[in-house]
Amino acid sequence: MSIKSPVNHHIKDSSLAPPGELRIEWASREMPVLRLIGESFAKEKPLQGVRISGCLHITTETANLALALQAGGAEVALCASNPLSTQDDVAAALVANHGISVFAIKGEDNETYYQHIVAALAHQPHIALDDGADLHATIHKDYEHLIPAILGGTEETTTGVIRLRSMERDGALKYPIVAVNEADTKHLFDNRYGTGQSTVDGITRATNILWAGKKVVVCGYGWCGRGVSLRAKGMGAHVIVTEVNPTRALEAVMDGYQVMPMKAAAVVGDVFVTLTGGLKIIDREHLLAMKDGAIMANSGHFNVEINIPALEELAVEKRTVRPFVMEYRLKDGRHLYLLGEGRLINLAAAEGHPASVMDMSFANQALCARYIAQKGKELTPRVYTVPQDIDADVGRLKLSSMGIAIDTLTAEQRRYLESWHEGT
Ligand code: ADE
């Protein structure tokens, strides 16, 4: 491996590069679709001369995305999309071994988090990749002078897409966005199986609890909530779902879970997981009602789903009892436990989604970056869904990488499905 010239960066410790490199390589074994895309990018160079700034969780999987983009000719700069999600060894390897500028340190404060976003913008991107829309929002609020050179951007997560659609509605959006989250090959797998597994993993690593027999309250029954419910149930937990959407609540009931309002769930839950994208899902009144020893974790994008300021106010004492576990002793003597500062627990206390599922998400990101490089100038500033052919290609390539063949329609079957003449 050749050592590239030093690049602009702010990372924890460059001596962490060797283990980081090994872990990036390990993840790549589980990312065959992204690897294929990287190989074709290396030949065709569709991103030659394109500057890409990515505000993404700095993980082994993101490293493989950055390397695929770089193979396509892009110059890549990265910053973290969450103060607690950075894998410092990965950041070190990208800087030391691959000439990728990285601005990210696990545990950075909010001020540093935004300084890192600004540093990634000094790269003057043509394409902005985001996870949560902090990068896009910063560009639109404070760095508008960069907008004329920006061909477009992508957005990885539900919360980010919601923010960007709100910008679109307000007429504030100034460049086209491809909502990667909306690809079927993204949210049906990453949000469900990725969040399902990695959230249970994060809570387990932080606490070492036995899930069997626990009353686990899952707040929100979107794709992420479904995944966490499924996996918690698989571990033997008794799952209770809270929802505000009647159809989703009904789905949770028919999937076999108990559904109740948060006020009722607060009294009975042993473990609470928020995944709604909303605000104060666990509020002061719920904190006041919880059992002694209740554990709270968040797996939604922002750390606002649990009312942490209220928890701080109610507490007379707090102490870190294990890494990522804060014990709050309340005035009435109860103890409540907050994991990972209420930030994405799967990335704070574990390694995020496994590489095999990020393979599909980041294959979509890579192909959408190419799409924006080729078509961005023709697109108006709107939020677009992922082009159907990209979504379908990712699914096909993933199946093929797993050695799974499927059937194809015969000509007769196709004609039948396309016609309205035949009925009873
Ligand atoms: N989001 C959730 N898991 C992730 C991972 N492993 N890498 C990057 N982004 C993620």
Model confidence pTM above 0.75: yes
Q: Report pLDDT digits (tens) over 145-197.
A: 999 999 999 999 999 999 999 999 999 999 999 999 999 999 999 999 999 99
The pLDDT value recorded for residue 6 is: 54
With b meaning 16 or more CB within 10 Å and e meaning fewer, what string describes 362-399? bbbbbbbbbbbbeebeebebebbebbeebbebbbebbe
Name which of 352, 402, 359 is nearest 38 in CA terms: 359
The pLDDT value recorded for residue 422 is: 87
Name which of 301, 305, 95, 97 is nearest 105 in CA terms: 95
Q: Which amino acid is at 281?
A: I
Instruction: For each of the domains in the chain, give its residue range(s) and CATH number, in order of start.
Output: 14-186+353-401 (3.40.50.1480), 195-348 (3.40.50.720)
Cβ of 59 less than 6 Å from ligand 1: yes
Pocket of ligand 1, candidates 85, 87, 156, 343: which has the most ligand atoms within 8 Å of its Cβ, to mutate? 85
C-alpha pair distances (Å), 57 with each of 66, 117, 358, 404? 12, 12, 12, 31
The pLDDT value recorded for residue 7 is: 74
Residue 4: pLDDT above 70?
no
Cβ of 61 less than 6 Å from ligand 1: yes
Residue 347 Cα to ligand 1 midpoint, Å, equals 7
Beta carbons of 348 and 205 less than 8 angstroms apart: no
Mean predicted lDDT score pLDDT of the chain: 97
Share of the chain above pLDDT 90, in %: 98
Q: Report pLDDT digits (tens) over 353-392.
A: 999 999 999 999 999 999 999 999 999 999 999 999 999 9
DSSP state of 46: T
Q: Which three-class secondary structure string do you get for 238-293?
A: EEEEECCCHHHHHHHHHCCCEECCHHHHHHHCCEEEECCCCCCCECHHHHHHCCCC
d(C-alpha 328, C-alpha 367), whole Å: 46
Q: Report pLDDT digits (tens) over 119-149.
A: 999 999 999 999 999 999 999 999 999 999 9
Place of tokens 């499905």: 417
Q: How much of the chain is in helix, strand and coil states, percent to nearest 5?
A: 50, 15, 35
Cβ of 57 less than 6 Å from ligand 1: yes
Residue 71: pLDDT above 60?
yes
Place of tokens 């990287």: 38
d(C-alpha 60, C-alpha 21), whole Å: 9
Name which of 338, 239, 241 is nearest 296 in CA terms: 338
Residue 109 Cα to ligand 1 midpoint, Å, equals 20
Q: Confidence class of residue 2 from pLDDT cuts 50, 70 and 90?
A: very low
Give the DSSP letter string of 371-420: HHHHHGGGS-SSEEEPPHHHHHHHHHHHHHHTT-------HHHHHHHH-S
Alpha carbon 19 to chain centroid distance?
A: 23
Q: How many CB atoms lie within 10 A of CB 326?
A: 21
Q: Which is it for the CA torsion 183, 255, 242, 320, positive or negative?
A: negative
Tokens for 69? 């983009």
Residue 322 DSSP SS3: strand
Beta carbons of 194 and 218 less than 8 angstroms apart: no
Pocket of ligand 1, candidates 198, 358, 360: which has the most ligand atoms within 8 Å of its Cβ, to mutate? 358
With b meaning 16 or more CB within 10 Å and e meaning fewer, what string describes 229-246? bbbbbebebbbbbbbeee
Residue 37: pLDDT above 80?
yes
Residue 407 Cα to ligand 1 midpoint, Å, equals 32
Residue 353 Cα to ligand 1 midpoint, Å, equals 5
Beta carbons of 19 and 103 less than 8 angstroms apart: no
Residue 288: pLDDT above 70?
yes
d(C-alpha 404, C-alpha 423), whole Å: 34
For 359, residues 6+ apart whose C-beta sits below 8 A from its C-beta are 30, 31, 32, 33, 34, 61, 398
Q: Report pLDDT digits (tens) over 222-274.
A: 999 999 999 999 999 999 999 999 999 999 999 999 999 999 999 999 999 99
